[in-house]
Copies of this chain bind each other. A is one copy, B any other.
């Protein structure tokens, strides 16, 4: 069904507050999920909420903490998420980086013991809105096979980069797998075969059957180079956050285990060169207006598509699976009944 941004924010906020998430933090978590819907990435949207709620119910997420952090060195903030909500812990770290390490010119937060961040683009966009360059990396469960290999040994290891310009930011946000496991599940639910070379089954054989791929492995994007980037991010995140490596990671896709992946956030001041911000904006326009293979599909810059979808969805709302929306509304009713019972 078609849902408005406001009604989604209200529903998610209510569900989180019903589980003792303070209202400001509930809004931070809600925004990450609803933004993903508005930008056309439902795999990182509302469908993740029931798991978040279950994780709170089971004590795998602490609904109230913002994590604790200390400066491991002059420009590196070490963050223990204390099992907090991913967005809440990350945004608290970004605030501390912004207010306390301004003289360094570059700051890094290395986060462990925190929950799923949702779309990484959300965080680097916020850094870019301050006028800084933002980079974010994250690790995950083993879902991706190496180039030349057949078994899932790597995380989907996303990277996001935002660079501000005089007219909007470039916002890159990509997983180093060729598709997301969310998309594989979506294909499975709808009986759509996968493209060849997207995945392998549990025995390591190539498959286009999404049901078999769910227990197998997804390919890295871009063959050897994409694999190389993915494994470098695997080591970067663990090497900086001290977090688990993919085969030992739990807690981003289940409601049974404490989450032990890592997240890295980096904020860097831009150079003070004259007209730099204009030059970057002009360059992006030059790329956009360069000749396209299909004149009906002009060249885009990372972030353009999400920005357009977001603008459209802010006006017209976005589609949510009926069953999911019903499930969330029933959870709200249950939560209100629970609260009323608690208050009697």
Contact = CB atoms under 8 A, between A and B. Distances in A.
B290 A240 contact: no
A172 B229 contact: yes
A75 interface: yes
Interface string A249-287: 000000000000000001011111100100110011011
A221 B231 contact: no
B286 A231 contact: no
A106 B149 contact: no
A172 B231 CA distance: 9
Give the secondary structure class of A's interface: mixed
For chain A, which range describes its interface: under 10, 10 to 19, 20 to 34, or 35 or more residues?
Answer: 35 or more
A124 B251 CA distance: 33
A299 interface: yes
Given A103-B74, A276-B239, A232 B146 contact: no
B72 A105 contact: yes
A107 interface: yes
A50 interface: no
A159 B176 CA distance: 15
Interface in A279-307: 279-280, 283-284, 286-287, 290-294, 297-302
Copies in the complex: 2
A163 B235 contact: yes
B110 A271 contact: yes
A222 B231 contact: no
A136 interface: no
Nearest to A247: B286
Contact of A76 (B239, B240, B269, B300): B269
Contact of A279 (B74, B133, B245): B245
Nearest to A173: B228
Contacts of A27: none
Contacts of A271: 72, 78, 110, 239-242
A181 interface: no
Contacts of A153: 286-287, 290
A76 B270 CA distance: 10
Nearest to A233: B161
A291 B204 contact: yes
B148 A300 contact: yes
30 contacts: A72-B105, A72-B271, A74-B74, A75-B106, A76-B105, A78-B271, A106-B266, A110-B271, A148-B293, A148-B300, A149-B287, A149-B291, A149-B292, A149-B299, A163-B232, A163-B239, A170-B235, A172-B228, A221-B225, A226-B226, A235-B280, A238-B279, A239-B270, A239-B271, A240-B270, A241-B271, A242-B272, A242-B276, A245-B279, A245-B280
Nearest first, the 3 A-B pairs at minimum CB distance are: A222-B222, A73-B105, A242-B273
